[in-house]
């Protein structure tokens, strides 16, 4: 399962990078500036970018389903069953793809429009010219509203100088290269040049975009890998290739120090096929990063569910007690 998760996360990571690159290519600074000046939509291609990312997610989902079907086939050949395949035209798979597209369109367009609104309001309040506003709008691509404010605060610290330089260097995700430049300016008692500030802010912003993309790849990749696995098993059951009684699922935590406290007691929890796992807080999860569960139980989760196929179907696989 770990290899499948890693491969799925890699596909999601590449799909997001391609989406951001597409948005930046479609929205050069001159075009955004002209749009701001004329009152037109500053960012174009948001829906197309969302569809591209959703297509990348479906590619990861389908690849995961195929890999799981191949693994199921290897298990069933031992008992002389035919090899299952993963059907992308299955209604569940089609519904998954459609929902993924809708979710990405809503999330990406809503997020970017909030950032555009904030930039336009800020520009009107400060009297900034369209070029300045356009730079801020373009720089916000790939960030959340909260992260964009963090980058703005970092810029203000660099522009203020003095003791604010220390605060800038102590920030999470600050660049080591920029920190050395800032430290030299603080030591010499001089202000950073506009070019130095711009370079430092660009590096800081890039670090936040990279961190967010990695977090999305980890969470979405884990969710997609488990969803693809679950759907591949369901297809095999519906075709009669598998009996549900042959399937046993076990929850494994990452055993890292940062495992959330509600997941620690779930380690080695065993469930029959279709039976949800139970967190320490009593929340039911089908698998790690279950989209139906509260975000406090899913964000940045690194747990996995291992599925095993028994040779002989059993009437019931009794759940074990959590061992912490």
pLDDT in tens, 26-47: 999 999 999 999 999 999 999 9
Domain that holds residue 127: 2-242
- pLDDT at 320 exceeding the cut of 50: no
Percent of all residues in the chain with a pLDDT value above 70, rounded to a whole number:
94
Residues 32 and 127 grouped into a single domain? yes
- pLDDT at 75 exceeding the cut of 90: no
Residues 15 and 112 grouped into a single domain? yes
- What does the pLDDT read at residue 308? 86
Which DSSP helix (H) or strand (E) runs through 55? helix 46-76
| Region 72-87 average pLDDT | 71
Residues 28 and 175 grouped into a single domain? yes
Report d(CA 298, CA 205) in Å as an integer: 26
- What does the pLDDT read at residue 81? 53
Report d(CA 195, CA 201) in Å as an integer: 10
Residues 123 and 238 grouped into a single domain? yes
Of 211, 242, 273, which residue is a domain's last? 242
DSSP one-letter code for 192: P
pLDDT class of 239 with cuts at 50, 70, 90: confident
| Region 157-177 average pLDDT | 93
pLDDT by residue (tens digit) across 95-115? 999 998 999 999 999 999 999
- What does the pLDDT read at residue 301? 86
Query: Per the structure block, which two tokens stand in for 199?
Result: 């370079």
Of 221, 242, 263, which residue is a domain's last? 242
Residues 294 and 316 grouped into a single domain? yes
- pLDDT at 9 exceeding the cut of 60: yes
Question: What's the structural domain count of the chain?
Answer: 2
Nearest to 312 by CA among 71, 76, 84: 76
Residues 184 and 279 grouped into a single domain? no
Of 242, 262, 293, which residue is a domain's last? 242
Question: 13 or 81: whose pLDDT is higher?
Answer: 13
Residues 160 and 177 grouped into a single domain? yes
312 phi, psi to nearest 5 deg: -110, 125
Residues 121 and 224 grouped into a single domain? yes
| Region 273-285 average pLDDT | 92
| Region 8-19 average pLDDT | 95
Percent of all residues in the chain with a pLDDT value above 90, rounded to a whole number:
73
The 3-class SS string of 245-265 reads HHEEEEEECCCCCCCCCCCHH
Residues 59 and 191 grouped into a single domain? yes
Residues 199 and 264 grouped into a single domain? no
Contact 58, 102 (CB under 8 A): no
Report d(CA 300, CA 84) in Å as an integer: 32
| Region 186-214 average pLDDT | 95
pLDDT class of 71 with cuts at 50, 70, 90: confident
| Region 168-184 average pLDDT | 94
Residues 184 and 313 grouped into a single domain? no
Residues 159 and 271 grouped into a single domain? no
pTM, two decimals, is 0.85
């Amino acid at each position: 399962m770990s290899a499948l998760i890693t491969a799925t996360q890699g596909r999601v990571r590449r799909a997001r990078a391609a989406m951001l690159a597409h948005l930046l290519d479609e929205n050069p600074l001159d075009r955004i500036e002209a749009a701001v000046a004329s009152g037109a939509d500053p960012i174009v291609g948001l829906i197309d970018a969302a569809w591209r990312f959703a297509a990348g997610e479906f590619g990861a989902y389908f690849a995961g389903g195929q890999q799981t079907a191949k693994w199921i086939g290897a298990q069933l050949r031992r008992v002389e069953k035919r090899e299952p395949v993963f059907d992308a035209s299955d209604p569940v798979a089609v519904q998954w793809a459609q929902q993924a597209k809708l979710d990405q369109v809503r999330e990406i367009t809503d997020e970017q429009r909030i950032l555009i609104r904030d930039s336009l309001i800020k520009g009107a309040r400060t009297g900034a010219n369209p070029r300045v506003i356009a730079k801020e709008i373009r720089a916000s691509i790939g960030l959340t509203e909260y992260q964009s404010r963090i980058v703005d605060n970092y810029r203000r610290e660099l522009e203020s100088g003095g003791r604010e330089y220390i605060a800038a260097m102590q920030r999470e995700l600050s660049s080591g290269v920029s920190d050395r430049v800032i430290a030299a300016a603080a030591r010499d008692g001089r202000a950073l040049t506009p070019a130095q500030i711009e370079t430092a802010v660009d590096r800081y912003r890039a670090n936040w975009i990279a961190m967010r993309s990695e977090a999305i790849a980890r969470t979405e990749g884990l969710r997609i890998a488990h969803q693809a696995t679950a759907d591949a098993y369901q297809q095999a059951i519906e075709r009669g290739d598998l009996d549900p009684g042959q399937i046993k699922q076990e929850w494994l935590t990452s055993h890292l120090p940062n495992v959330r406290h509600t997941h620690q007691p779930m380690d080695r929890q065993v469930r029959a096929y279709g039976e949800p796992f139970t967190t320490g807080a009593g929340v039911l999860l089908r698998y790690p990063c279950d989209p139906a569960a509260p975000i406090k139980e899913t964000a940045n989760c690194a747990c996995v569910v291992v599925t095993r196929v028994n040779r002989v179907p059993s009437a019931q696989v009794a759940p074990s007690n959590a061992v912490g």
